[in-house]
Amino acid sequence: MKNVAVHKLQKKFNLTIFSGEELLDKKHITIKDISRPALELAGYDAYYPKKRIQVLGKTELTFLYSLEPEVQKLRFKNLLLETVPCIILTRGFKPTESMLSLAQKSNIPILGTERTTTDFIALSTDFLDRDLAPTKTIHGVLVDIYGVGVLIKGQSGIGKSETALELIKRGHRLISDDAVELRSIRERAIIGAAPKVLEHLLEIRGVGLINVVSLFGTGCVRSQKEVELVINLEHWDDKKSYERLGLDKHYFEVFGVNIEMHTIPVAPGRNLAIIMEIAAMNHRAKKIGTNTPEEFSKKLNSLITQNQ
């Protein structure tokens, strides 16, 4: 199971450490969802999401601080189960001495932020969504063509990087060359990014590695992009029948998500960059309701029916 050390969250959002600094590398977050314990502070503990970060905002703390000291201590102590990664106070609130004492005894860090509760939960959930997402690295090139994330696959030496270079020269953007890190973020969304060591680099055989930012500027790259279309390049095979109308649908499956895939045969004289631009534009057209192959098929069937 993937996890994120509390220290990483603290560093990312510059959280104030009220107690448990020595625990930040030992406590780990395994669930992206965050809990705001309201009913628990009111005394209802039949269900308590004890593996989540517990965030106390203005509403929770105002209520907690209004309780009698002994009741306040009891209710707060009930939150401090061993599996809780940490307690975070928002809006600049500070813990009481009794809260600090109880947290230290229970080995639960207490952190704080000046951000509002809503803002902090939104930002931290997004951060954890990325860091806890299932991840795999595959061989390929990822480019942004007209706003469509296109993953180019194919055997080594078939021309993936050279095609990406031509696309960059035509104004499109590179996300990653050679290796693409795929993450399953949110329901049915696959996000691709470059491994840190390969960011902005493109390998051109016979030339070597080039830094596309140095040659073409910062506008030719982006850090990540949702993968919406897969182009599989393969050497032209005269014995194989390739799609001509576009009625048959093929998919590339990753993390249970099926992404539309086209197989493009590579042969002398075929401009792969232009073909990929057309594929991306056609994908966008389908999303807004324009499906040329289906429209052609309907017209053809209608014509056949009329002539019978």
Q: Which amino acid is at 241?
A: S
Q: Among residues 52, 75, 160, 172, which one is catalytic? A: 160
Question: Do 34 and 55 contact (CB within 8 A), yes or no?
Answer: yes
Residue 159 annotated in ligand binding: yes
- Has 178 been annotated as catalytic? yes
For this structure, is 244 an active site residue?
yes
* Per annotation, catalytic residue among 115, 178, 183, 283: 178
28 is catalytic: no
- Check the annotation: does 157 bind a ligand: yes
Is 160 noted as a catalytic residue in this protein?
Answer: yes
**What distance in Å separates the CA atoms of residue 291 and residue 286, rounded to the nearest whole number?**
5
Task: Pick left, alpha or beta for residue 182 (phi over 0 → left; psi -120 to 50 → alpha; otherwise beta).
Answer: beta
168 is in an annotated binding site: no
161 is in an annotated binding site: yes
**Cβ(48)–Cβ(84) below 8 Å:** no
Residue 154 labeled ligand binder: yes
The catalytic position among 139, 169, 235, 240 is 139
Q: Report the distance separating Cα 37 and Cα 44, nearest Å.
A: 10
Binding residues for Mg(2+): 161, 203
Binding residues: 154-161, 203
Binding residues for ATP: 154-161
Catalytic machinery residues? 139, 160, 178, 244
